[in-house]
Amino acid sequence: MTRMTRERFLIRMLACTLCLMMAATGAMGQDSEKTQKAKEAYNQGIKFMQEGNAEAAITSYQAALNFDADFAPTYLNLGAIYFEQKSYDQALDMFKKACEKDPKNADAFANLGRVQYKLKRQVEAEASFKAALEIKSDDTSLLNELAKVYMAQNKYTNAIPVLTKSHDLGGGNEDTYYWLGRALRKEGSTNEAIAALRKSIEIEAANYSALFALGQIYDSQKKYTEAAANYKKAMNADAKRGHKAAFNYAIAVEMSNPEDYPTHIANWQSYVKMAKGVPTAKSSVAEAKSHIEELKKAQEHAELQ
């Protein structure tokens, strides 16, 4: 499950859980007439959501709010729909109101944080996730999302203890161990960073980001054989980004055995083939082509010796 999918899944599941809770509450029959009508409109919105009719659900939820503007779960479900539609400004408004109406609802603050993160309002997202964690201090998904916000702000020192707590509580996944590896490396804890990245790869073998990052660490340590091995795996892990790993792979192999000209020529030719047509790689491709010619001349010179 990708990061984006997990994020949407969390918000979608929140809406479904609330549906069941509010349906039960509506059966109690102890509310004012307006509140009861609000719940009826709300539950109608639930049915429309289950049928996949988002626009009808929005209409029903808005009707519920017309009956009772303090009916907090409606703001949550409206926000969930707007988030799914990528109408982030509208989702932001709904989740803000949900927080105002129900300040003890961790899901409201968490969803607000998710929208703020999407809008790159990281300082606000940080505050929202912290508010959610004041209510649910050991929720690993909230800890992970707060760590993600810290990583986006390059607050590596803050991210490390949050991720460590999540992992201690069993909330680790390939992304969180990758983030921890990055943060630890930035803070100079190389061995711990390697361990975290290896854990990320253990969870998801075809993990381009962790493999590439591990290759970079070995590169910096001049352990070119180990670097090349990780870059090669990264090449096969992500077709879209594989050309970047291929570039570093060719360098690492060449650094490990500079005079193996046939291998180096072949590796650089493979890189050119992978990166050809990628606009952002244009200058690197030109550099690689020039280097191939240099290697061919070096090979000819070596053969004459």
pLDDT score for 31 = 61
Instruction: Return the closest-CA partner of residue 164 out of 175, 177, 153, 174.
Output: 177
HSE-up of 223 (CA within 13 Å, CB side)? 11
User: Domain 1-137: what homologous superfamily?
Assistant: Tetratricopeptide repeat domain (1.25.40.10)
pLDDT of res. 32: 80
pLDDT, position 17? 41
Q: Does the pLDDT at position 292 exceed 60?
A: yes
Torsion region of 277: left, alpha or beta (phi above 0 gives left; psi -120 to 50 gives alpha): left
Say if CB 179 and CB 166 are below 8 A apart. Answer: no
Whether 285 has a pLDDT exceeding 80, the answer reads yes
Mean pLDDT across the chain? 91
pTM here is 0.86
- Report H helices in 136-189: 140-152, 156-168, 174-186
Tokens representing residue 185 in the block: 């490396």
pLDDT digits (tens, 9 = 90+) for 26-51: 444 456 888 889 999 999 999 999 99
Domain residue extents for the chain: 1-137, 228-305
Residues of the chain with pLDDT > 90: what percent? 86
pLDDT at 7 over 80: no
Other Cβ atoms closer than 10 A to 39 = 23
Distances (CA, A) of 38 to 7, 23, 33, 103: 29, 12, 9, 20
Q: In the block, which residue shows the tokens 């944080």?
A: 113
Q: Say how far apart CA 260 and CA 15 lie, in whole Å.
A: 60
pLDDT on residue 10: 54
Token representation of residue 132: 């959610």
Q: What is the pLDDT of residues 11-22, one digit of tens each?
A: 544 454 444 344
Half-sphere exposure of residue 289: CA atoms within 13 angstroms, side-chain side: 11
- The predicted-structure confidence for 223-274, as pLDDT tens digits, reads as follows 999 999 999 999 999 999 999 999 999 999 999 999 999 999 999 999 999 9
